[in-house]
Amino acid sequence: MLTCTPSYALYLAESARNDGLNPRDFALSTVIIGAEPCTQPMREAIEAALDVTAVDIYGLSEIIGPGVSNECHEAQDGLHIWEDQFYPEVIDPATGEPLPEGEEGELVLTSLTKEALPIIRYRTGDLTTLNDEQCACRRTMVRMDNVTGRADDLLIVRGVNVYPSQIESVVLEFDDVLPHYRIDLEREGELDTIEITVELDEGFDGDRTTLENRIRERLQNVLTLSPDTLTLVDYGEIERTEVGKVKRVYDRR
Q: Give per-residue pLDDT as tens, 55-89.
A: 999 998 888 888 899 999 999 999 999 999 999 99
**Band of pLDDT at residue 183, cut at 50, 70 and 90:** very high
Instruction: Give the model's pLDDT for residue 46.
Output: 94
In total, the chain counts a number of residues equal to 253
Mean pLDDT rounded to a whole number for the chain? 90
**Band of pLDDT at residue 241, cut at 50, 70 and 90:** confident
* Domains 2-151 and 154-251 are alike in CATH topology: no
pLDDT > 70? residue 243? no
Alpha-carbon distance of 156 to 142, in angstroms, equals 32
Residues 245/36, Cβ–Cβ less than 8 Å: yes
pLDDT > 90? residue 218? yes
Query: Considering the domain 2-151, what is its CATH architecture?
Result: 3-Layer(aba) Sandwich (3.40)
CA distances (Å), origin 209, targets 115, 178, 203, 205:
59, 17, 16, 12
Instruction: Give the model's pLDDT for residue 184.
Output: 94
Domain boundaries, the chain: 2-151, 154-251
Give me the helices (H) in 19-100, please.
Answer: 40-50
Q: Quick: pLDDT tens for 113-154.
A: 988 888 999 999 999 999 999 999 999 999 999 887 777 777
Pairing of strands 143-144, 130-131: antiparallel
Which of the two residues, 8 and 151, has the higher pLDDT score? 8
Nearest CA among 7, 62, 61, 1 for reference residue 34: 7
Instruction: Give the model's pLDDT for residue 41.
Output: 83
Per cent of the chain over pLDDT 70 is 99
Q: What is the CATH number of domain 154-251?
A: 3.30.300.30
